[in-house]
Amino acid sequence: MSNSLYEQDFFAWANEQAALLRAGKLHDIDIENVAEEIESMGRSQKSERVNRLAVLFALLLKWRHQPGFRGNSWRLTIQERRLQIQRHMRDNPSLKSHLAEAMTDAYHLARIKAERETGLRAPSFPDTCPFIFDDAMSDSFWPD
Q: How many CA atoms lie within 13 A of 38 on its CB side?
A: 8
pLDDT tens digit sequence for 70-126? 999 999 999 999 999 999 999 999 999 999 999 999 999 999 999 999 999 999 999
Is 70 exceeded by the pLDDT of residue 61? yes
Structure confidence at residue 124 (pLDDT)? 95
pTM attached to this predicted model:
0.87
DSSP tag of 139: T
Output 80-88 pairs: Cβ under 8 A, ≥24 positions apart. 81/52, 81/55, 81/56, 82/56, 82/136, 82/137, 82/139, 84/52, 85/49, 85/52, 85/53, 85/56, 85/137, 86/137, 88/45, 88/48, 88/49, 88/52
What confidence score (pLDDT) does residue 16 get? Answer: 96
Digit-coded pLDDT (tens) for 20-51: 999 999 999 999 999 999 999 999 999 999 99
Question: Where does the pLDDT of residue 3 fall: very low under 50, low under 70, confident under 90, or very high at 90 and above?
Answer: low
Closest by CA to 117, choosing from 48, 49, 54, is 54
User: What is the full DSSP assignment across 4-26?
Assistant: HHHHH-HHHHHHHHHHHHHTT-G
Q: Where are the domains of the chain?
A: 44-137
